[in-house]
Amino acid sequence: MTISGGHLPEHAGGIPVMLASEQWDVVVMQGHSLGPISKGTGEQFRRAARDYAMQIREAGAEPVFFMTWAYSDRPEMTAQLDAAYSTTGAALDAKVIPVGLAFEAVTNERPDIKLRTSDTRHPTLAGTYLAACMMLAGLHDFSPVGLDYSAGMDVEVAQYLQRIAWTTTQDYLNR
């Protein structure tokens, strides 16, 4: 269930319908990147996260949060997003997939791998691939290292992103 550019609270009307439509194991929540960290929307994000997590659990599923990444022209967002998602996840006893931390690691180590499009916000193919590897690692506790699929990217780049996904996931779980 998506709303382009939508904030988490904007899904309130759709959550009950979505939960009733299928027997879900996991429901991954993500809002607009600025939602959890902006003045005026942070509390709304936390309130919606709490309400949705309760509804998701009542429906027999596990709530999970997808930590978004910083805009390329606002690297300070990473620490803010980490704090917001990690605090919310801990308060709600919900898993957090730290995609934003993986984006930061790649951006710092391999600036030659562009993860965001020219708008500084949306993911490139490499960014999408990294996020998918993070989901595999975080949801299934399965290392993406060694996967054959490279999404048409250079194999070395895909293998690097796989390693970053696994390392970031393990580091996040162990901190």
| Same domain for 69 and 123 | no
Task: Name residue 141's amino acid.
Answer: D
**Final residue before a domain boundary, out of 47, 78, 97:** 97
pLDDT tens readout for residues 130-154 = 999 999 999 999 999 999 999 999 9
| Same domain for 171 and 120 | yes
| Same domain for 133 and 68 | no
- Residue 174 structural domain: 98-175
**Final residue before a domain boundary, out of 70, 97, 124:** 97
| Same domain for 120 and 70 | no
| Same domain for 126 and 47 | no
- How much helix, strand and coil, in percent to the nearest 5, is found in the chain? 50, 10, 40
- How much is the CA Rg of the chain, to the nearest whole Å? 16
pLDDT of residue 6: 86
| Same domain for 89 and 16 | yes
| Same domain for 92 and 23 | yes
| Residue 67 burial class via C-beta count within 10 angstroms: exposed 0-12, middle 13-18, buried 19 and up | buried
**Final residue before a domain boundary, out of 65, 97, 129:** 97
Domain tally for the chain?
Answer: 2
User: What is this structure's pTM?
Assistant: 0.96
| Same domain for 128 and 93 | no
pLDDT of residue 4: 80
| Same domain for 93 and 131 | no
Q: Specify whether the CB–CB gap between 25 and 62 falls below 8 A.
A: yes
Q: How confident is the model at residue 5 (pLDDT cuts 50, 70, 90)?
A: confident
